[in-house]
Amino acid sequence: MESLLYILATNIAFSTFGSRFIRRSPLTAGLRQNIEERSRLLHQLVSCPHCLCFWLALGGSLLLSHTLLQMGCAVLLGWRGGYYINRLLDNLSGGDAQPRSARQCYACGLPYKRDFLERQGRYFCSYRCWFDRLKDQRRAERPIFDEKGIFIQQEVYPMSVKNINPTQAKELLDGDENYTYIDVRSMPEYETNHPAGSLNIPIMHKEAMGMVPNNDFVRVVEKNFAHDAKLLLGCQMGGRSMRAAQALAAAGFTDLSNIAGGFGGARDQTGQVVEKGWAELGLPVEQGTQEGTDYPSLAKG
């Protein structure tokens, strides 16, 4: 009995503080960004406290348990215990400014009678109310990178950004002259090779120490395009362009498409091609830069 209690207590602590360390510690910020760049599935796993607590509890139970009964108990209590203790710690650190009985849905004003959704210190009684809020909000003044240069995940209305492949992007460009391809890769990447006719507005700059944020990204796009402009966002594989599209959606742009596969193609962890890129499909490519399409001239407006 004492052995089981020890296993349960240890696994709950491992799940609680392990998930908190992975999701919040500055020491794991680089790891989180790297995971987000490489795998959408792993990024969802790391950012979801519920999923993270489960896998940590499972790992801890495999290390600590000697029988199937101990393993089952350790997984269940480690998973649920870690998740609810994390919620409690979040509530204590955030400090509920409003008693539960006085809360109202920020969108519709109805009483907030049960735990459903809390975002940015506001309460929403349903996903419909939350989505309505996302459709209406404009947050151009909000930075897209934090002080450590890590992209701030933008919460936008789910349909604000369309996902298309390079072939579909080329068809849109050929069929409607109002569409514009914005290559959000760094200036050296763009200069080496880029889709013909594309403009270069990097979301990150390439410098000697590595990639650094371009905090002027949204401002430069707004300087050159109206909020209802038809914009196609592309990068090397599709990760940076999705973040760029989310930032623009949060700023009020309404017709955005992320090009999955980007210029070089998207690959899974084994190196297999998931989505062919612009170059691999043999679509028109240009080298070098020219006035009016390069970043320095677009930044000047």
- Annotated active-site residue in 53, 105, 125, 235: 235
Give the DSSP letter string of the chain.
-HHHHHHHHHHHHHHHHHHHHHHH-GGGHHHHHHHHHH-HHHHHHHH-HHHHHHHHHHHHHHHH-SSHHHHHHHHHHHHHHHHHHHHHHHHHHH--SS-GGG-B-TTT--B--S--EEETTEEESSHHHHHHHHHH---TTS-SB-TTSPBPPP---GGGEEEE-HHHHHHHHHH-TTEEEEE-S-HHHHHH-EETT-EE--SEEEETTEEEE-TTHHHHHHHHS-TT-EEEEE-SSSHHHHHHHHHHHHHT--EEEEETTTTT-EE-TTS-EEE--TTTTT--EE-S--TTTSHHHHHH-
235 noted as active-site residue:
yes
Catalytic residues: 235
